[in-house]
Amino acid sequence: MRIDPYMRRGLWKCQHALAPYLFVGPFGLVFVIFLLYPLVSSLVLSLYDTASPRAMRFVGAGNYRYLLTDWLFWGAVANTAYYTVVFLIVEITLALGLAVLRNSRRVWGRNFLRFAFFSTHLMGHVFVAVLFALLLSPRGGLMNRVLSAITGSEVEINWLGRPELAMPAILIAAWWVSTGYAMIYLLAALQSVEVELYEAAEVDGAGRWSQFVHVTLPGIRPVLVFLVVVGVIGGFQLFELPYVLFGGPGPNGRAVTVVMYLYMVGFEMGNLGYASAVGWMLVVLIAGVSAVQLRLSGALRREE
Partner 1 sequence: MAERIQKTEFRIGGIQKSESRREGAGVVALNVLLYALAIVALTPLVWMVCAAFKRGEDLFAYAFLPWDHLGNLSLDNFRLLLSREPFARWLINSLFLSTASTVLSVLLSSLGGFGLAKYAFAGRRAVMLLMLGTMMLPGVVLLPGSYMLMYRLGWIDTYWAIIVPGGVSAFGMFLFMAAMRQVPDELLSAGRIDGCSELRLWWEIALPIVRPMTGAFTLLSFLASWNAFLWPQVILQNEAKYNLPIALANMVALPEYRTEYGTLMAGTLIAIAPVVILFFALQKDFVAGLSSGAVKG
Q: How far apart are CA 113 and CA 116, in angstroms?
A: 5
Q: Which is nearer to partner 1, 145 or 162 (CB)?
A: 145
Q: Which of 219, 228, 251, 293 binds partner 1 (CB under 8 A)?
A: 219
Which range, of 71-79, 151-159, 172-180, 295-303, touches partner 1 by CB under 8 A? 172-180
CA distances to 113, 116, 173 from 125, in Å: 22, 18, 9
> Minimum CB separation from partner 1 for residue 4, in Å?
18
Q: At what angle do helices 71-103 and 272-303 cross, to 10 degrees?
A: 40
Query: What residues from 53 to 112 belong to the interface with partner 1 (CB under 8 A)?
Result: 53, 98, 100-108, 111-112
The answer to whether the Cα torsion of 206, 212, 215, 218 is positive or negative is negative
Q: Which is nearer to partner 1, 208 or 302 (CB)?
A: 208
> Minimum CB separation from partner 1 for residue 1, in Å?
19
Hey, is 161 helix, strand or coil?
coil
Nearest CA to 155 out of 137, 172, 133, 138 is that of: 138
Number of residues in the chain: 304
Q: What are phi and psi of 57, to 5 degrees?
A: -135, 130
Does the protein bind partner 1 through residue 198 (CB under 8 A)? yes
Does the protein bind partner 1 through residue 293 (CB under 8 A)? no
Q: Which is nearer to partner 1, 88 or 183 (CB)?
A: 183
> Minimum CB separation from partner 1 for residue 12, in Å?
9
Q: Which is nearer to partner 1, 51 or 188 (CB)?
A: 188
Q: One symbol per residue from 115 to 154: x for binding partner 1 (CB under 8 A), - otherwise; what is it?
A: xxxxxxxxxxxxx-xxxxxxx-x-xx-x--x---------
Does the protein bind partner 1 through residue 232 (CB under 8 A)? no
Tell me the number of residues near partner 1 by CB under 8 A.
112
The answer to whether the Cα torsion of 269, 274, 280, 282 is positive or negative is negative
Query: What residues from 13 to 42 belong to the interface with partner 1 (CB under 8 A)?
Result: 15-16, 19-24, 26-28, 30-31, 33-42
Q: β-strands 48-52, 55-58: how paired?
A: antiparallel
Does the protein bind partner 1 through residue 292 (CB under 8 A)? no
Q: Which is nearer to partner 1, 165 or 278 (CB)?
A: 278
DSSP state of 58: E
Residue 272 buriedness (CB in 10 A; 0-12 / 13-18 / 19+): buried
